[in-house]
Structure 1
Amino acid sequence: MLFLDEAAIWLTQPNTYTWRPIGCPMEVPTSKARGITARLNLMGCVDFASGKVLYREIEGNTKATDTVAFVDTLAQQADPACPTVLLMDQASIHISAEVGQHRQRWKAQGLVVAYLPPYSPEQGPMEGQWRKLKYHDLPHRHHASKADLRGAVERATWGIAI
């Protein structure tokens, strides 16, 4: 069983906690970049049995065509003799007509698409993988450029780019 989800990784990640002596305020660098230039959009899935994460960067804002392309890649690895279930939340890019057009083809390839209940993204284990990447595997909370952030994501041992 696979769980699919998307996430944005910003040049400046929020600090979860910090400690400084009294009278020594913490200085946190921030990026002046805004919007799509200040973040990487990622789509990924986690295999519930093995914990293996597969992901890819999405250029620009994430669209239904990106979902189709990602699921196409997963379907190529599927086995019709032993179907794999792919669970997604009910985001508009997952339930679009464009995605719906491909569901039968994916099923024939051995990948069955199903959906989590509405308003329950926390039920997808991919959320925990994004949290692991953002708060544990990226040691620096600020990156000077999108290229630096992309390199940090690639060096992290949390998943495999496809």
Structure 2
Amino acid sequence: MRAAGQGCAADPPRGVRGQLPAQGRLRPAAPVGPELPQAAPAPRAVRSRGHAEVPPGERPPFVRRVRHALEPKGARVRVMFMDEARFGQQGTLTAVWAPRGSRPTAVKQTRYEWVYLYAAVEPSTGFSSALLAPHVNTATMGTFLEVLSREVEPGDFVVLLMDQAGWHKARALRVPDNMVVLFLPPYSPELNPVENLWQYTRSHFLSNRAYQNYDHLLQAGCDAYRALTPEVIRSVCRCDYIERGS
């Protein structure tokens, strides 16, 4: 064994096959079999996640809670998802059709008016209920639940899935008798298909434009929501993981 500083060659990394000549330089062995061509890299959009990960075993209990909530209750059970989105004068910029070689531009405001769109959707039918408001808080959330409660058919029972925002879990929030609320696992936006609806709405109806004031934003939100047909909602909000977990 040589002491440190006497030019001892380092051992090759584990898993690397090669020949080590006397000079001490690693020469890779010839590859076994032909090399496979690699696909050229391409840009891919990514989605943001929370910094914390979902605890192990969190999602299977969630699916069991959904299955329990769907047990017969003497009424037609309707599974819906709920979420809120904020849009405002900051706006969204999206790609547009333009002549080759051109550099299209779009307006980008720096003002700070905005509105919140509350929405619940039933992916299986395309049914939806919505409310536009200037804030997200417990009082407005309660108002939205009352609106949803009145808009479903008499005798229907709603299983409403949503994330764990503070105003969703507030003690003061009153849930109507014809529904039950189930909370999605933390840091799991991909489990809520309403997230897809927000992306669709922003890119198709609320992008590359300017808004004069709050009233203009309110009208734009109403117009965008009314343009969402049940067929579009069924397509954009398709969700089958509950059936797969049953």
Q: How does the TM-score come out when normalised to structure 1?
A: 0.76
Q: Percent identity, please.
A: 25
- 1:4 pairs, out of 73, 82, 86, with 82
Question: Paired residue for 2:24?
Answer: none
Counterpart secondary structure, 2:220: helix
Give the Å deviation of 1:98.
1.4
Matches of 1:46 and 1:76, distance apart in 2: 15
Letter in 1 for 2:128: V
Which stretch of structure 1 is more off in the superposition, 77-86 or 49-58?
Answer: 77-86
* Contact 2:119/2:131 (<8 A) preserved: yes
Bigger helix share: 1
Question: Paired residue for 2:111?
Answer: 33
Letter in 2 for 1:148: H
Instruction: Report whether the alignment pairs 1:73 with 2:161.
Output: no
* Contact 1:78/1:111 (<8 A) preserved: no
Instruction: Report whether the alignment pairs 1:158 with 2:232.
Output: no
Q: Deviations over 1:112-148 (max 9, x none)?
A: 1111111112211111111121111336433233322
Instruction: Report whether the alignment pairs 1:142 with 2:210.
Output: yes
Counterpart secondary structure, 1:98: coil
Q: Deviations over 1:56-91 (max 9, x none)?
A: 1112x3101111111122223456854220111001
Q: Unpaired segments of 5 or more residues in structure 2?
A: 1-78, 231-246
Counterpart secondary structure, 2:172: helix
Aligned length: 149
Give the Å deviation of 1:17.
2.7
Instruction: Report whether the alignment pairs 1:116 with 2:116.
Output: no
Letter in 1 for 2:191: Q
Bigger strand share: 1
Distance of aligned partners of 1:148 and 1:81 in 2 relative to their CA distance in 1, 3 Å threshold: closer
Greater gyration radius: 2
Higher RCO (CA 8 Å, separation ≥ 6 residues):
1
Matches of 1:25 and 1:83, distance apart in 2: 52
Q: Unpaired segments of 5 or more residues in structure 1?
A: none
